Amino acid sequence: MCEDGKANTRVLFCGPHFPASHNYTKEYLHNYPLIQVDDLPFDSIPDLIGNYDICVVKSMRLSSDLIARATRMKLIMQYGVGLEGVDITAATNHGIKVARIPSKVTGNAASCAEMAIYIMLGLLRKQNEMQCSVRLKKLGDPVGDTLFGKTVFILGYGNIGFELAKRLRPFGVKILATKRNWASNDPTTLEHGTHEDSVDEKGSHEDIYEFAKKSDIVVCCLTMNSQTVGTVNESFISSMREGGLLVNIARGGLLDYKAVYEGLESGHLGGVGMDVAWTEPFDPNDPILKFPNVLLTPHVAGVTESSYRSMAKVVGDVALQLHSGKPLTGIEYAN
């Protein structure tokens, strides 16, 4: 405990968090006045980051310059999964651990899986065109399609991919999925059976073009890193079936913008649904918006009341553990 009675473990929430996750963590820690939880606007972070022990980011860039100023920092954690914005090498060089909150335990993966299904159905039923028809007082337009009977390729069968496959089963679809190493599955995370039980055909990353050819819908659930950036490129899209649908629930940079645009322009792509964009927030003047078969959501797939409260609890527990010198649990380290 601090002799002056002030907080001696400080948690900083950086960048925009929606909903206000720092408040959820504050509520969770209300009995622990020695743990301080702050939310700072981006402009004041460089001057104040040196006062904090834990930094919680959400899809923001935490550069080596900022990390160099974080002299008291012990842990940088993503409020979720994707750590591509954090300079992990710089953090390691400064002796700071970097971690993510695995999506399987917080409901983040379940939230994303539900959103992927929502987007798939929206594309199949032509959500944008339906809205226009209603506004123009038209009846019986447009004609959509069912998920039933389709082949869905889950590109990147991690936690989100697994939750998606489980939820897709009752729709009567054929499910193809790729991951690098199927033997690496953690059996303790499985509620029923194995990962393989949810999938009709499994493959490795080398099979992605082959699987694209066989699918009506591709859902991208990959981690974004130097190896996966631009995976959905011109060759991938041309491997997809004519009129195939593409859904991106993971990160904008996994898709090559030009390839997606041209796929839509030529009609080869029947529709594209994206919760994530190349730059966020999505530019409302982006020419890709001219296509009525582009369905966008503003990076909210994992943003639900339940997953956010659950992640706030993980942050709170980690702060308590750090405060009392215990090992940190509930997170996965990246360094």
Ligand X SMILES: NC(=O)C1=CN([C@@H]2O[C@H](COP(=O)(O)OP(=O)(O)OC[C@H]3O[C@@H](n4cnc5c(N)ncnc54)[C@H](OP(=O)(O)O)[C@@H]3O)[C@@H](O)[C@H]2O)C=CC1
Q: Which stretch binds ligand 3PY (CB under 6 A): 38-46, 78-86, 88-96, 263-271?
A: 78-86
Phi, psi of 295 (to 5 degrees): -115, 125
**Rounded Cα distance, 147 and 170, in Å:** 10
List the single partner that 59 binds among ligand X, ligand 3PY, none, CB under 5 to 8 Å by kind. ligand 3PY
Q: What is the edge-to-edge ordering of all strands in the sheet holding 151-155?
A: 201-203, 174-178, 151-155, 217-220, 244-248, 269-274, 294-296
DSSP 274: E
Q: How far is the CB of 229 from ligand 3PY (least distance, A)?
A: 15
List the single partner that 222 binds among ligand X, ligand 3PY, none, CB under 5 to 8 Å by kind. ligand X
Nearer to ligand 3PY, 80 or 244 (CB): 80
Given candidates 22, 45, 80, 199, which one binds ligand X under the rule CB under 6 A?
A: 80
Write out the binding residues for ligand X, residues 220-239 only, by CB under 6 A: 221-225, 227-228
**Rounded Cα distance, 206 and 23, in Å:** 44
276 forms part of the interface with ligand X (CB under 6 A): yes
91 forms part of the interface with ligand X (CB under 6 A): no
Given candidates 59, 127, 151, 198, which one binds ligand 3PY under the rule CB under 6 A?
A: 59
Q: Which stretch binds ligand 3PY (CB under 6 A): 27-35, 74-82, 145-153, 266-274?
A: 74-82
Q: Applying CB under 6 A, what is the total number of residues that bind ligand X? A: 32
Closest CA to 264 of 232, 228, 296, 290: 290
Give the largest Cα separation in the chain, rounded. 72
CA 321 to chain centre: 26
Write out the binding residues for ligand 3PY, residues 285-324 only, by CB under 6 A: 302-303
Q: How far is the CB of 59 from ligand 3PY (least distance, A)?
A: 5
Write out the binding residues for ligand 3PY, residues 81-110 only, by CB under 6 A: 81-82, 108
Closest CA to 178 of 199, 193, 149: 199
Closest CA to 158 of 213, 113, 106: 113
Write out the binding residues for ligand 3PY, residues 157-216 only, by CB under 6 A: none
C-alpha to C-alpha distances, 177 to 151, 161, 165, 190, 230, nearest whole angstrom: 11, 8, 9, 17, 18
| Interacting residue ranges for ligand 3PY, rule: CB under 6 A | 59, 80-82, 108, 302-303
Q: Which residues bind ligand X (CB under 6 A)?
A: 80-82, 103, 108-109, 112, 156-161, 179-181, 205, 221-225, 227-228, 249-251, 275-276, 299, 301-302
